[in-house]
A and B are shown apart, each in its own frame.
Chain A
């Protein structure tokens, strides 16, 4: 389908743009990541509003996480999360064995250092969605072998 490619190309360009435009002044990596993360946050807020328009009210946190893993992930990345684990104390680990935004990168170690900038937007996306559903969280990502990646969601208790 063509629309999958569009999102991927746009996402790549956004990253390119942010990194290029920052090159002149500060080449601080962290600031660019934050920018991408914030973009994702706003997009996530809007998306979740649309996705949950026709769904029943969520029972609890786990119900929300399941929705993110299934429906949300399918809409955005055309596949479900492969594995969801939780310690039932506010930490969730979402594992995707073939993350779509990384699938076009070489599977070796060569581009491993570039992986974080391809994950920042998605981290924001998840955080924004959760925040709009009333769950404050911190989302981090980690990659060990290329197309697979893990998102760790830490729920902030009030």
Chain B
């Protein structure tokens, strides 16, 4: 399960970021921030020759010693980033995919909420709940 989940707006500022409370929060902010460059690179590669690269799910962005960072970009250029622990080898690509899918569905619900202003930080409880379900449970 994830140790950090972030949603980043199309202008590259964070809409939502949540990490496991036990660890250094700032480190995750850096990790997510760094991943944006890779995301940018991956989307700009689309359109040039890569016909099969048009999926919303971007796959593994980059691995670090302790973490793996996965990315997803919606058609409205909103980015989702999920950071998982490298030691967690049981997590398959398909599971990550379905996590992103769930996240996207929930984000869509937030966007369609008339009380939400597009571009504002996400404060929805329903969204919070979905994210909590995907985070590592503190033991």
Contact = CB atoms under 8 A, between A and B. Distances in A.
A57 B105 contact: no
A58 B77 CA distance: 11
A46 interface: yes
Interface of A: 42, 45-50, 52-53, 55-60, 132-134
Nearest to B52: A56
Contacts of B76: 48-49, 52, 132-134
B111 A45 contact: yes
24 contacts: A42-B118, A46-B111, A46-B112, A47-B112, A48-B76, A49-B74, A49-B108, A49-B111, A49-B112, A50-B111, A52-B74, A52-B75, A52-B76, A53-B74, A53-B104, A56-B56, A57-B54, A58-B75, A59-B46, A60-B47, A132-B118, A133-B75, A133-B76, A133-B77
A147 B108 CA distance: 33
A158 B79 CA distance: 22
Contacts of A56: 54-56
A51 to B, nearest CB: 9
A133 B76 CA distance: 4
A94 to B, nearest CB: 20
A99 to B, nearest CB: 25
